[in-house]
Amino acid sequence: MGIQTWTFIIVGLTFALYIGIAIWSRASSTKEFYVAGGGVSPLANGLATAADWMSAASFLGMAGIIAFSGYDGSVYLMGWTGGYVLLALLLAPYLRKFGKFTVPDFIGDRYYSNVARTVAVIAALFVSFTYVAGQMRGVGVVFSRFLDVEVNTGVFIGMAVVLFYAFLGGMKGITYTQVAQYCVLIFAFMVPAIFISLMATGNPVPQIGMGSAGEDGVYLLDKLDGLMKELGFTAYTDGSKSTTDVFFITAALMLGTAGLPHVIIRFFTVPKVSDARKSAGYALFFIAILYTTAPAIAVFARTNLMETVQDTPYNEIPDWFTKWEETGLIAWTDKNGDGKIQYLPGSAINGKKPMFSELRGPVGQRLISNSSLTRNELYVDRDITVLANPEIAGLPNWIIALVAAGGLAAALSTAAGLLLVISTSISHDLIKKQFAPEISDKKELLIARLSAVLAVLVAGYFGINPPGFVASVVALAFGLAASSFFPAIVMGIFSKRMNREGAITGMIAGLAITTYYIARFKLGWIGHPETSTSNDWWFGISPEGFGTVGMIVNFFLAMLISRFTPPPPKEVQEIVENIRIPSGVGDALEH
């Protein structure tokens, strides 16, 4: 059977599974909608947390960034892995002890202020919508290639599926759907990695195969370094980022992880604090399987790509190339008219997304209308690295289709968690807690579901008009979380002196300066984007790393303001003292 037929079968079966689970586990109360009733087992919650955490950025984007950035891509591995450890050890048990449903709920009660709650809601919406943009783009990329539809159509299909089980089941439906999605995505990630590792080095363990020698006796990393130097690239194992930027990006990813509302809320779904710790341990193990494999896939993919396309005549190129070219995610310029593909440093379109004309070139290639260079060059979208790798390696069609199903599982699992954060922030933290405290449980549940509908529409827009590659877009969300939530949560747990004035000032300042920086240097909404370069960055810090600066600003202003304003009420200080011993707690508190 062909790739498309296999894709319809495997993706169709997995979607049927997700929808069936959503119907079986539909929520009948707000507690089930928000925290799955608080009765999820640690193992199931660990699987669901891993799926929630390993988004399209992990499944599709991270290996792509490592493949094209080499050593510099290690910041994503260090930041995201270290950040989860930080979250599991430093914050999760204490937040579970506090017993509230959402992060804005914690901040509103801890800082005894609806203003603080509202600022936290705004921050949650900023973070969640930025994060979900990457997931919707991932869905579009998968569908555009394997179901032979436009990227926009793929986004619409993904919106419909994720809305169905988020709307129907809430956290309860999402939790058990994510358990299934983890199984799908990890199987889809590991199977091709094992096959390719065997083909390249004879070793079935990808993590070991990456550092092994091939049949020619040359170590794979040495071979890749040699290929890249020969073509004019920097060696794969050398880094080009400054130490300062590496530090700030890694810190932003780590601290942003510890402030992500859709991950934090997972620890409210288990019965006890000890269960929160256990589920965090399970999740870390499940996450490590993928994260230790991603660098190997990146090495295999970059090597296969360079060996396959370099100096190959276009009319002899394998079918996978022309299929991806039709999606607009691979592009090639033939400026010298020799009909051969050259893979050289830089991009044929100066880093911008290809814009194709209606005409075809002399050998049948799609012509790029926004290319201004005079040499042959190849543009490859980083987000297709994992998806195209099995095709480049010549693996069976069912494995290629399985990878497509895995990419969809990764994107949809995280998108569902983010949509829940958005809907609960509106229904619970705004409507219930501030504007209509007497609202019935039934009406609150209805508002939560309607909020999910609105959220998925906005998410779809960002999926169609993303500000960058999946992993880089998601990195921005981590920066926003680091600059807004992390200081407020940490000081809310460990500082009895931190008051509402300090927390509110810090969150607003941190979020504002980070948003401004991203809008100026990443999105080009402020200043003169056509002339802006990395030389214009403040202190040499990229937009992906500036969340660390926002976090420092947040901490500094919060502590400064709190010293010149009244301390929190005695009862709030007693709560802080109590949650520092994360034991002896049962169900999450009623709202």
- DSSP string of 111-144? TT-HHHHHHHHHHHHHHHHHHHHHHHHHHHHHHH
Residue 424 has pLDDT above 80, yes or no: no
Average pLDDT over residues 548-561: 96
pLDDT value of residue 551: 95
**pLDDT score of 174 more than 70:** yes
User: Could you tell me if 119 and 506 are in contact, meaning their C-beta atoms sit under 8 angstroms apart?
Assistant: no
In three-state form (DSSP H/G/I as H, E/B as E, the rest C), the secondary structure along 251-290 is HHHHHHHCCCHHHHHHHHCCCCHHHHHHHHHHHHHHHHHH
Output the pLDDT for position 491: 92
Average pLDDT over residues 383-399: 84
pLDDT of residue 87: 78
Helix (H, G, I), strand (E, B) or coil at 375: coil
**39 pLDDT tier (thresholds 50, 70, 90):** low
CB atoms within 10 A of CB 300: 29
Residue 557: pLDDT band with limits 50, 70, 90? very high
- For the beta carbon of residue 185, count every other beta carbon within 10 angstroms: 30
Contact 263, 276 (CB under 8 A): no
Strands 330-333 and 366-368: unpaired
Q: Is the pLDDT of residue 487 over 90?
A: yes
pLDDT band per the 50, 70, 90 thresholds, residue 7: confident
- State mean pLDDT over 27-33: 58
pLDDT of residue 332: 80
Higher pLDDT, residue 472 or 98:
98
Predicted confidence at residue 101, as pLDDT, reads 62
Average pLDDT score over residue span 307-331: 83
- Residue 475: pLDDT over 90: no
Return the pLDDT at 501: 95
Give the per-residue pLDDT at 509. Answer: 95
pLDDT value at residue 371: 61
User: CA-based Rg of the chain, rounded to a whole angstrom?
Assistant: 24
Most confident option among 79-88, 126-135, 166-175, 551-560: 551-560
The Cα-based distances of 117 to 426, 430, 506, 514, 553 in angstroms read: 11, 8, 13, 20, 20
pLDDT at 278 over 80: yes
CA distance 548 to 415: 25
In the block, which residue shows the tokens 């508190």? 589
Residue bearing the bigger pLDDT, 587 or 186? 186
Give me the residues paired with residue 101 across strands.
Answer: none
Q: Which residues pair with 368 in a beta bridge?
A: 356
Cβ burial of 203 (10 Å; 0-12, 13-18, 19+) is: middle
pLDDT value at position 563?
A: 93
Does residue 115 carry a pLDDT above 80? yes
b (16+ CB within 10 A) / e for 58-92: bbbbbbbbbbbbbbbbbbbbebbbbbbebbbeebb
Instruction: Give the pLDDT of residue 233.
Output: 78
Quote the pLDDT of residue 467.
58
Query: How far is Cα 185 from Cα 253, in angstroms, rounded to an integer?
Result: 22
pLDDT over 90 for what percent of the chain? 9
Provide the percentage of residues in the chain whose pLDDT is more than 70. Answer: 87
Contact 165, 18 (CB under 8 A): yes
State the average pLDDT for the chain.
80
- Of 29-38, 232-241, 272-281, 503-512, the range with the lowest mean pLDDT is 29-38
Q: For residue 548, what pLDDT band results from cuts at 50, 70 and 90? A: very high
- How confident is the model at residue 510, as a pLDDT? 94
In the predicted model, what is the mean pLDDT of residues 414-420? 75
* Whether residue 539 has pLDDT greater than 50: yes
pLDDT (0 to 100) of residue 589? 46
| pLDDT exceeds cutoff 80 at 549 | yes
In this predicted structure, the answer to whether residue 463 has a pLDDT above a threshold of 80 is no
pTM: 0.78
Q: Is the per-residue pLDDT at 588 higher than 50?
A: no
Give yes or no for residue 322 having a pLDDT over 60: yes
The predicted pLDDT at position 504 comes to 95
